[in-house]
Structure 1
Amino acid sequence: MNNGHPDPADTVDAVPRSRVLPREEWGAVLGFAGVWLVFLLMAVASVTVARIQAGDAAGAAVAVGSGVLFTAVYLVSFIVPDPVPSWPRPANTGLYTLALVLVTALFATTAGSAAINVVPYFAAVWVFSQRRRTALTAVAVIAAAGVVLALLFTDGEPRIWLTGSILVATAVIVAVRLASDSEDAMTAVRHELDLSRQREELARDVHDVLGHSLTAVHVKAQLVTRLIDVDPARAKAEAEQIVTLTRSAIGEVRSTVDGLSAPQLATELAGARRVLSDAGIRAEVPGIEAVAQVPAQAAELFAWTLREAVTNAVRHSGAARVRITLAADRLTVVDDGVGPDGPVPVSGPGEASEPSSSRRRGTGLAGLRARARAAGGTLEVRPEHLGTERPGTRVEVTL
């Protein structure tokens, strides 16, 4: 996830999705979604106190019960965003919306017009689970419905306060979503700038490496042509120098290509965020600043691992979510897809590289195991949740 509300997976509804968010993400998601519940708590407490003061114990119990039930349905909508995985995301969110409407109707039996205060929570359920266009359309409809209800069932100062609170709360929720989208866009721009810099460096390196070498080879080849009849010995010596220059140029080109092909961890993180988003996969990706904690000797291995794991997640896993975590000595990539065909052996220093049980991913993972072994690290690829229909895949490299 990105800041608690990434680009949702309903961009590719044809891809099977997992019903439940990975347990490791529950804390962040519940914290993000739950922070708004303080306003619901205030409304329920106000109604409960009023019912108790009026001697209506049953009404107070309904207020508390409906408040608890509303909170449960609201939070579950974030933890289990797709209760029916075969349905598209908007249909699943619509199912939660219907449940929240029924609970709100129960709350309204004792709270009256105060129940309209829950409208922003409907907006939150939609804005943080859908693509931006769908989210903004839904929020506009929900806010308009809330204002209409406020106009119909309140008057005077309460009408002004209720209408204002609905509009302000929904505006804040939308602003949070737009801010997240803006951050993702800036990350993509930084990635493009980094790629542009790499292209410029490549052009410069090719010019510096090949320009001099090819010019020298061309001059000597012309010299050999002129000397071959008049001074064969010298022509032979010049030809031998051409071979030497060519061999040196080939070595320099290989060195340049090796330097180019070695991925940069910051670039791979930015690229992973973009690739996963473009594929309609929810992504929890650490910020580029997290690279600063990774030692230089680990950064290249982590970059190669990240590139391969993200590629496999997009091509083979059918995942709806991917979570990437980065520490100084460890990189972990977890998806909620179909899982590997079988557990991949752990490799470590001095261990032989065994073939992967997944033919789809075996070649790339075998290369990663070799890199991990050469760097003195370990690579593990295994199902994240054994015994489930969609066990997911966990790729973890430790150095």
Structure 2
Amino acid sequence: MTSVSGMSSFDRWAGPDAAGRPRRVGYLFSVIWLVFLLDPLQAGWQHRDTWQGWVGMVATILFAAAYVVAFALVRGRSLRAGAVPQPVGAAMLLLLLALAVVMCLTLGESGLATSVYLTVTAVMFLPTRAAVVAVLLLAGTTLALSTLVPGWQPLPSLLLSIFLAAVAMWGVSQLIRRNIDLSRAREENARLAVEEERNRVARDLHDILGHSLTVITVKAELAGRLLEVDPERARAEVADLERLSRDALVDVRRAVEGYRELTLPGELARARAALLAAEIDADLPTSTDVVPGDLRELFAWGVREGVTNVIRHSAATRCTIRLTPDTVEVLDNGRGPSDAEVLERSGNGLRGLQERATALGAMLMTRTVEPQGFSMQIIAGTVS
């Protein structure tokens, strides 16, 4: 039955805790299967009047303890999406093998019960090919001993148990590996999602603040020049500065929250006001009806970035914005960019705009215009 938290009662009892550490109760699963070692332990007790009996019992207890430790290593590593180092695994396997040999020498045929545990350990610790070889050697050795040693009887059920245990443990190990791969993939996807969101916020903040601060700077300079010659207009520009700063704050909040809404008519209106404040003649379209709905936000970002660059860099006296169903162009008659300005213009602003355009199958193009000027254009439907 599954709880409201989505975790089954089995997972809560035997799985990892909230910190990802293995629960101690989960180790009981390995202890349960040690019941099959009661036979060699009983054989040792029956011969407790001899040193072989006591050595056999001690070896059986040590074998059980070593097997539980091996299980704990594999379980702990798998819950932490790791793997037991091969030297450690080989050492554990050799230790169990040595104890099994001691059990067979002191307790006789009952010591062959260890072959199933050795099979499981080999599959847990060894690569697949090496594990197959180890299982075949264990099965062959078990068959040879039970057949050739005087007084021992062939045990077909034991051979069947060896192969069944190998297949079952191989399936479990494959499941563990798949879970580890899935866990790592989820971690990588989460990391990429965080990185993508961080890039989105950085890109949007650059686009929004770059435009808003440029307009605020231009209006502040204009207000400073008008203080002596036209105080009334200067006060109006200061009032606009307050409004623009509040609008910029709202835009930043919406961008961080991920609920930003950019409209093409709104950006054209902002562009007209910004160009007017910068004393640049504006030739802007009066309607945006020709632009399809799925391109309007992209074209709005294009208008914002293009006008910001015109005000910052161009020293232009005129700016023209042209709209068609599949293009937007911001054209100025300025002096054109210098090499340094080309590097600056190709920074976060145009890079972010290029990413937006590519995501919608469009292309961003920039060029100088003869005899002077600069053009930034977005052309839709050019990237497959």
TM-score normalized with structure 1 length: 0.41
Higher Cα Rg, which structure = 2
